[in-house]
Every structure is written in structure tokens, then in C-alpha cells.
């Protein structure tokens, strides 16, 4: 083998070694980043679990509030419904209903023109 060929082969081996070293460094860097990302993902999972628990509590609370509001509305409306039913029954008991017609209004005279 000639010395030129030997030096070319040595140079090629050095170039390959540098490439291998760069790949090894990149791999180490990537493994470090992957480890950091795994740690961050674990923290995110923990936070997500806490947020899910808070959302569940809010759902329970809003459901309870909706039920309370519904109960209070029912309590407030029930007397009106009862009175309307009584009025309907009393109108049904009578054969007719008389509505009095209002012919003149005191409200019109201050605004009358002419």
C-alpha cells in the first residue's frame, strides 16, 4: 500500500470517527432532552389530575345549585299555579264572566290636543 493511500484511509477513518462521536453526542443530548420531557409530562399529569378533580367538584356544585334553584322556583310558582287553578274552577262554576268596559280615562285629558 502506498503512503498516499494509507493517509487517505487514515483521514477517512478520522472523519468517520468524528461523525460517530457527533452522533454519540447527539444521542446523549437527545436522551437528556427525552428525560426532561418525561419529567415535564409527569408534572403535567399531576396537574391535570388536580384540574380534573376541581372540575368534578365544580360539576357537583353546579348540579346542586341547579337543583336548589329548581326547588325554590317550584316553591315560588306553586301558589300561583294553585290560585290559577282555583280561578279556573271558579270561572267554570259560573256560567259566564262579565268584564267591565272602561269608557273614559283620566290619563287621556292632559295629553288631549286642540
Report if residue 72 sits inside a domain: yes
Task: Report the chain's mean pLDDT, rounded to a whole number.
Answer: 86
| 65-89 average pLDDT score | 91
Q: 36: which 3 cell numbers?
A: 426532561
Report if residue 18 sits inside a domain: yes
DSSP percent split of the chain into helix, strand, coil, nearest 5 = 80, 0, 20
Q: 71: which 3 cell numbers?
A: 326547588
pLDDT digits over 20-66, tens only?
A: 999 999 999 999 999 999 999 999 999 999 999 999 999 999 999 99
Report if residue 108 sits inside a domain: no
Q: Cα–Cα distance between 51 and 57 in angstroms, integer?
A: 10
35-62 burial, b at 16+ Cβ within 10 Å, e below that, comes to: eeeeeeeeeeeeeeeeeeeeeeeeeeee
Report if residue 33 sits inside a domain: yes
Domain count, the chain: 1
pLDDT at 90: 83
Report if residue 97 sits inside a domain: no
pLDDT score of 85 more than 70 = yes
Report if residue 100 sits inside a domain: no
Amino acid at each position: 500500500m502506498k503512503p498516499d493511500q494509507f493517509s487517505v484511509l487514515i483521514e477517512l477513518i478520522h472523519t468517520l470517527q468524528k461523525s460517530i462521536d457527533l452522533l454519540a453526542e447527539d444521542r446523549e443530548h437527545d436522551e437528556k432532552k427525552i428525560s426532561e420531557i418525561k419529567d415535564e409530562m409527569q408534572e403535567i399529569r399531576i396537574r391535570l389530575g388536580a384540574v380534573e378533580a376541581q372540575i368534578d367538584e365544580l360539576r357537583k356544585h353546579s348540579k346542586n345549585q341547579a337543583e336548589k334553584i329548581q326547588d325554590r322556583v317550584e316553591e315560588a310558582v306553586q301558589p300561583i299555579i294553585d290560585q290559577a287553578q282555583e280561578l279556573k274552577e271558579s270561572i267554570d262554576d259560573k256560567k259566564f264572566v262579565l268584564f267591565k268596559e272602561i269608557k273614559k280615562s283620566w290619563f287621556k285629558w292632559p295629553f288631549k290636543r286642540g
